[in-house]
């Protein structure tokens, strides 16, 4: 950090998380509100680390049933079959659509896992008070925010399949419990990323206002 680098919090200023405006934080006053947009003012997102951990751990837990339980059941005159995410990927791979197999694998398996691992790393780095490589860690956080929604892919695939394949005697598809678990993983990881405050990446541990 160069000498000219002064943060808003060092000057007793606070960026509103609603509108981005600067406000002066007056000591001794609780529950200050932004004059411009009326949002509650906080120096940092409140309880950022604890809340991010909570969402993250819940997401890790839901990731297990999302991958182990079947995401859909297919019933046809050739018998019944249950598919997990991975068996769906394998099916796409063997049927010659290797590019789609790759898309589904990346979006449904890799993206949520990488996202959770990276958030874990960021949380630990903040709790340990690392100050080096703050720029790289901030970039990592930006990538996490961007890729968040893409793991919803399989939930949508199942939705369309269930709606279309209702051919009575020929074949029917029903959603499996993993669809719900998957939706939960996506929502929980998005909440976790939103609860995390990237400004903590730039501060030594003593300066944390959480």
Partner 1 sequence: MLTACHECDLLQREPILPPGGVACCRRCNAVLYRDIPDSIDRGLAYALGAAILFIVANIFPIVGLEVQGTLNATSLYGAVEKIWDNDMKGVAALVFATTILIPAVEISLMLYVLLPLKFGRLPGELASILRIVQSVRPWSMTQVFILGVLVALVKLAHLAHVVPGVALWAFGGLIVLLTAAGSTFNMHEMWNLVTEKNERF
Residues that bind partner 1 (CB under 8 A): 5-11, 13, 15, 17-22, 35-39, 88, 91-92, 95, 97, 100, 103-104, 107, 134-135, 138, 141-142, 145, 148-150, 152-167, 170-171, 174-175, 179-180, 183-184, 187, 190, 194, 198-199, 201-203
What DSSP string describes 31-42?
A: S-B-TTT-PBP-
Structure tokens of 136?
């790289």
Residue with smaller CB distance to partner 1, 2 or 27: 2
Tell me how crowded residue 61 is: count the other CB atoms within 10 A of its CB.
14
- Largest Cα–Cα separation, the chain: 75
Q: How far is the CB of 28 from partner 1 (least distance, A)?
A: 22
CB of 127 to partner 1, least distance (A): 18
CA distances from 1 to 4, 7, 136, 158 (A): 8, 11, 15, 49
Q: At how many degrees (to 10) do helices 48-68 and 85-94 cross?
A: 60
| CA 2 to chain CA centroid, nearest Å | 33
Pair 65, 178: CB distance under 8 Å = yes
Q: How far is the CB of 14 from partner 1 (least distance, A)?
A: 8
Q: Which is nearer to partner 1, 61 or 165 (CB)?
A: 165
Q: In whole angstroms, how close is the CB of 30 to partner 1 at the nearest point?
A: 21
What's the closest the beta carbon of residue 62 comes to partner 1, in angstroms? Answer: 12
Which residues, 6 or more positions from 7, have their beta carbon under 8 angstroms from its beta carbon? 199, 202, 203
Report the nearest approach of partner 1 to the CB of residue 209 (Å): 10
174 neighbors 80 (Cβ within 8 angstroms): no
- Is 119 in contact with 56 (CB distance < 8 Å)? yes
């Amino acid at each position: 950090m160069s000498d000219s680098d002064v943060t808003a919090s060092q000057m007793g200023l606070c960026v509103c998380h609603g509108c981005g405006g600067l406000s002066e934080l007056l000591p001794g006053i609780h529950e200050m509100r932004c004059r411009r947009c009326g949002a509650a003012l906080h120096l940092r997102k409140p309880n950022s680390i604890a809340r991010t951990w909570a969402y993250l751990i819940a997401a890790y837990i839901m990731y297990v049933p999302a991958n182990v339980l079947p995401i859909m059941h297919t019933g046809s005159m050739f018998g019944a079959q249950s598919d997990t995410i991975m068996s769906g990927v394998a099916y796409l791979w063997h049927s010659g659509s290797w590019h789609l197999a790759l898309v589904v694998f990346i979006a449904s398996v890799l993206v949520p896992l990488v996202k959770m691992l990276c958030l874990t790393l960021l949380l630990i780095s903040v709790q340990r008070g690392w100050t080096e490589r703050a720029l790289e860690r901030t970039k990592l956080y930006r990538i996490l925010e961007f890729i968040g929604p893409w793991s919803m892919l399989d939930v949508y695939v199942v939705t369309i399949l269930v709606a279309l394949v209702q051919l009575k005697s020929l074949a029917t598809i029903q959603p499996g419990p993993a669809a719900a678990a998957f939706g939960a993983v996506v929502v929980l990881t998005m909440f976790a990323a939103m609860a995390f405050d990237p400004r903590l990446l730039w501060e030594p541990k003593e300066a944390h206002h959480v």
